[in-house]
């Protein structure tokens, strides 16, 4: 079973308007609502790829109830910790030529609720995959990811960590199955700017030396590079299409890669991850299966 953890889920309220004037009444030309949060995004794209997962994390209030009911209606298994106070955040995204975002803070998460999440994770079995994605809310200890991996270390559980900087560096000693920095984040981790493919590969190798088994580096319009645990290096070009959306493409890439790993073919996993990420970038919301399959064919193969 694959488990995803989202510490700070959100309802994304997307508003379209021709123009926005600060300090005046503005009217929308259209709205959409999406259930968001990086781990939730991964679970939703896994569902599109017919790979079951269980979504965990924290929910509160009427907005939390809406997210949980919405995910369950889409056929996604959930096991969230419910908070007694506050409400799950709402992120407002205003698209008016340029995009403006106002992201909510999210509810307070007391220590006993964090421990309840830890206890749920204790039930993971050998062979399970745990995906930790995104930042840690300010109300939680900054080493929460590290605490989780330490608690579960020594068991045959595949850890996938999609985080940045020290949050990522500090878990490398637990030998995560997959990490996914982009090329800018990879450079930041080593205090440098990476301009060439050789430089990116060299610094990804450093992360492997620090403990990561597979390092997937996304490079925006330049595709992606994977250094796999068998010593292979794979490079995949970018999909062709009109970019409509910047939210969730990286999460979709993680979902596609994890789904592709079921075949044991890392080159295929990279292409499926690239196709899933592209399908989200070319859509108003998260990737849907028909477009993923179309982009996978564009990359030179069919879904396995």
- CATH no. for residue 169? 3.40.1190.20
The pLDDT > 90 percentage for the chain reads: 69
Cβ 229 vs Cβ 221: under 8 Å: no
Catalytic residue among 12, 84, 251, 293: 251
| Number of separate domains in the chain | 1
| Residue 117 in tokens | 């999440």
Which among 236, 221, 230 has a CA at the least distance from the CA of 267?
236
Q: Is 219 inside any structural domain?
A: yes
> Is 186 inside any structural domain?
yes
Tell me, yes or no, whether 99 lies in a domain. no
Q: What confidence category does residue 303 fall into, taking pLDDT thresholds of 50, 70 and 90? A: very low
24 is known as an active-site residue: no
pLDDT digits (tens, 9 = 90+) for 250-284: 999 999 999 999 888 999 999 999 999 999 999 98
The per-residue pLDDT for range 42-62, each reduced to its tens digit, is 999 999 999 999 999 999 999
Residue 19 counted as domain residue: no
pLDDT at 304: 44
8 Å CB contact between 149 and 174: yes
pLDDT digits (tens, 9 = 90+) for 162-197: 888 888 888 999 999 999 998 999 999 898 888 889
For residue 26, is it within any domain?
no
**263 vs 18: CA distance, rounded Å:** 46
Tell me the C-alpha distance between 81 and 266, whole Å.
34
Range(s) of the domain holding residue 276: 2-9+36-88+104-298
pTM score = 0.92
Kindly provide the b/e burial profile for residues 112-149, where b requires at least 16 CB atoms within 10 angstroms of the residue's own CB. Answer: ebbeebeebbeebeeebbbbbbbebbebbeeebbbebb
Q: Are 54 and 1 in contact (CB under 8 A)?
A: yes
Q: What is the mean pLDDT of the chain?
A: 91
- Contact (Cβ atoms closer than 8 angstroms) between residue 98 and residue 120: no
In a domain, 97, yes or no: no
- The secondary structure of residue 143, as a DSSP letter, is T
**Is 138 within a domain?**
yes
Residue 202 included in any domain? yes
How much of the chain, in percent, has pLDDT values that exceed 70? 99
């Amino acid at each position: 079973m694959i488990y995803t953890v989202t510490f700070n889920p959100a309802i994304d309220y997307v508003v379209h308007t021709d123009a926005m004037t600060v300090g005046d009444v503005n009217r929308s030309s259209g709205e959409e609502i999406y259930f968001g949060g990086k781990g939730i995004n991964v679970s939703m794209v896994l569902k599109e790829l017919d790979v079951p997962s269980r979504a965990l994390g924290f929910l509160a209030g009427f907005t939390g109830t809406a997210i949980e009911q919405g995910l369950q209606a889409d056929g996604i298994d959930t096991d969230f910790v419910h908070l007694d106070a506050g409400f799950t955040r709402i992120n407002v995204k205003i698209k008016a030529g340029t995009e403006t975002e106002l992201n909510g803070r999210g509810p307070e998460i007391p220590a006993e609720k964090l421990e309840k999440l830890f206890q749920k994770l204790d039930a993971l079995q050998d062979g399970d995959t745990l995906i930790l994605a995104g930042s840690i809310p300010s109300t939680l200890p900054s080493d929460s990811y590290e605490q989780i991996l330490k608690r579960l270390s020594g068991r045959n559980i595949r850890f996938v960590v999609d985080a940045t900087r020290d949050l990522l560096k500090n878990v490398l000693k637990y030998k995560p199955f997959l990490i996914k920095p982009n090329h800018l984040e990879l450079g930041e981790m080593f205090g440098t700017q990476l301009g060439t493919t050789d430089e990116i590969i060299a610094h990804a190798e450093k992360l492997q030396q620090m403990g990561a088994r597979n390092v997937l580096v996304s490079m925006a319009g330049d595709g992606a590079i994977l250094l796999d645990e068998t010593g292979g290096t794979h490079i995949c070009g970018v999909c062709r299409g009109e970019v409509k959306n910047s939210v969730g493409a990286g999460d979709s890439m993680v979902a596609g890669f994890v789904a592709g790993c079921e075949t044991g073919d890392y080159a295929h996993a990279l292409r499926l991850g690239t196709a899933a990420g592209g399908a989200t970038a070319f859509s108003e919301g998260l990737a849907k299966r028909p477009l993923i399959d179309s982009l996978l064919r564009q990359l030179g193969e069919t879904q396995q």
